[in-house]
Each structure stands twice: as C-alpha cells, then as structure tokens.
Structure 1
Amino acid sequence: MSLASSLALSAFAEQTNALDLGSAKAPFRLQRSVTLGSGTGAGKADRVWSDRRTIAASGADDLDLAGVLVDAFGSAITFARIKGLFIAAAEENTNNVVIGADATSPWATLLNATGTVVLRPGAACGFMAGGADATAYAVTAGTGDVLQVANSGAGTPVDYDILIIGASA
C-alpha cells in the first residue's frame, strides 16, 4: 500500500492606510508546505489516520499512536514518527479542545510531557515536519505514544476533526 501526502500551512494579511494621494498597502504572508512520498525516510510517510470525534463533558480522548488506531482499511496503525498533525475544533463547541499532557504515557516530542495547546471553538492548529527531516516527531511505543485530546469543561461535549500523517519506522 502506498501513500502520497501534501501538507501545507498558509496565512495572508494585508494592511492598508489611506494617504492624501492614494493608499499604501503592506502585505504579509507566511507559507510552508511539504510533499511526502511513500515510505519511511526523510520526505516520506506511509501511515495516515483521520477521524471526527466527540469527547464527553470533562472527558478526554487518549489516542494511542502505536498500535491501537485503525486506518481506513481496518488495519491497526503503529506510528514511529509523526510527519503532520492537524486538529480542528468544531465551531459549535461551547468548551475548548485541549491537546497534550496525558498523565500516563504522553507523546512528548511535540509539546513535552506537560505542554498543551488550547483550541477555542472553531479554532484549528497544524504541525508538520520539514521534507528533509528524517526524525520528525518520534513516537515511543509503550512509554511515549499517547496524544491526549480533552474537553476543557463540564456540561457539554466537544467535537473535533483530526488528521495524522506519519511513518511506521
């Protein structure tokens, strides 16, 4: 089975200022992208997992990146390296979606063991390794393989979309 992936992050803003004889514009742009071939080395990936998930009020999703997630064809996935991680909180959420800081076996190569990213309703984030990066974000089966995604509060569930692209070795 082969995998072709294209990952991108992009932002654009343009500030304008009215002047006596016209207006001035200052554009700002930040773009990064990487195309990954099929495989396990630098610039390659061979595993992908995606889902739309719901977390109960005050609950958490502990996503085991090594051997528990199941791909679109029903096979268990073991990530050894994460090349791209994209998460989007649903616009309709009342509570925040909190990423990171699992107490048991945290996947610490992105956010350290206790770091978190908070996604307010409708917010999204993306992380990706560069095309020449053979290490990427390592997963250590059994001791450093759980990505926690949690609901920040009581009362209502939260929904989120997630896409993980990585390599098996």
Structure 2
Amino acid sequence: MALTADILLRLTASQTGGNDFGGPNFNPKMEKALALTDGTTANKADIAFFDERTVATGADDDIDLAGVLSDAFGSTITMAEVVAIFIINAPKAGTPANTTDLTIGGSSAPFLGFLSGTTPTVGPIKPGGFFVIGAGDAAGIGTVTATTADILRVTNSSGAAATYQIGIIARSA
C-alpha cells in the first residue's frame, strides 16, 4: 500500500488601518506545505494513522505507537519515526462540543520526539482547539523506541469525557 500525504498549514488575516507595509489594508499570510511520497527517508512516509477517540473525564488515552495500532485496512502498524501529528479537541461531527482541555505527553514510556525533559507535556489544547507539528527531514519529529519511548499520551482534564481526532504520519524504518 503506497502512501502520499500533503500537510498544509495556513494562517491569513485581514486588517485595516495604517501599517509599515502601506495602508490602509494589511493582509498577511503565512503558509507551509509538506508533500510526502511513499518511503522511509527524508520527505517520505509509509504509515498513516487516523482515528476519532474518546477519553474519559480526568483520564489518559495512551496511544502505543509501536506494534499495537491498526491502519485503515486492519494491518498492525509499527512506527519507527513520526513525521507529523495533528490533534483536534473536537469530535469529527462537531457535536456535542467538548468542554474539557487535552494535554499531550507525560506517560511513563513517553514518545518524546519534539518534547524534552523527563515527562514533558504540551497543552492545554482548549475545546475546539488543535495542535499540529511536522517535519519531513530524515529524522521527522522524533524516533519511536518500542517499550521505552513509544507512548503518545492524551490526557483529558476533569469535567466530562472528550472525543478528539488524531492523525499521525510516520515511517516504519
């Protein structure tokens, strides 16, 4: 099964008033695209994992990146390097809306990758908010090491269960 993936992040704005770029309109745009083809080297990936998951109030959802997850076709996937992670703190249908924050990281065998320290975390990701990180270079955003550095933890704050969306693009080697 061959994989191609396009990751596009865009931030645009429109503001009126005087500014250093002339006036009266200011229309900045930041954009970064990452196109990946099938493979396990720089600017390539061969694993796609997408899911909608629910985590109970005040609980952890420990996602084992090495040999536990299944892809869309039911095959077990084992990630060696993660290229991109995209988490949205909202159900795919949009309703009911989440009311609690999510935090990424902090497990006992954490996938560190883009994180540093002993048990680092990123968050809170507010209800309706999102987190995205990606790098297509040879190392991606981090290496997965089975049993010692392979858990991507998503923690829900207290108050209610939260349904969230997650997409991970990775390499098998």
Q: How does the TM-score come out when normalised to structure 1?
A: 0.91
Within a 5 Å distance, the mapping from 1:47-126 to structure 2 comes to: 47-90=47-90, 92-102=97-107, 104-112=108-116, 113-126=119-132
Alpha-carbon distance between aligned partners in 1 of 2:33 and 2:17, rounded to the nearest angstrom: 31
Q: Aligned to 1:116, what secondary structure does the other structure show?
A: strand
User: Which residue of structure 2 aligns with residue 145 of structure 1?
Assistant: 150
Task: Kindly state the Cα deviation for residue 163 of structure 1 after the two structures are TM-superposed.
Answer: 0.3
Percent identity of paired positions between Structure 1 and Structure 2: 40
Q: Aligned to 1:85, what secondary structure does the other structure show?
A: strand
Q: Is the 8 A contact 2:3 2:45 kept in 1?
A: yes
User: Which residue of structure 2 aligns with residue 160 of structure 1?
Assistant: 164
**Higher strand fraction: Structure 1 or Structure 2?**
1
Q: How many residues align?
A: 162
Q: Aligned to 2:2, what secondary structure does the other structure show?
A: coil
Q: How does the TM-score come out when normalised to structure 2?
A: 0.89
Alpha-carbon distance between aligned partners in 2 of 1:77 and 1:44, rounded to the nearest angstrom: 16
Unaligned 5+ runs, structure 1? none
Q: Please identify runs of 4+ aligned residues in structure 1 that moved more than 2 A.
A: none
Amino acid corresponding to residue 46 of structure 2 in structure 1? D
Alpha-carbon distance between aligned partners in 2 of 1:76 and 1:95, rounded to the nearest angstrom: 31
Alpha-carbon distance between aligned partners in 2 of 1:5 and 1:115, rounded to the nearest angstrom: 27
Amino acid corresponding to residue 157 of structure 2 in structure 1? S
Unaligned 5+ runs, structure 2? none
Q: Is the 8 A contact 2:109 2:150 kept in 1?
A: yes
Task: Kindly state the Cα deviation for residue 115 of structure 1 after the two structures are TM-superposed.
Answer: 2.5
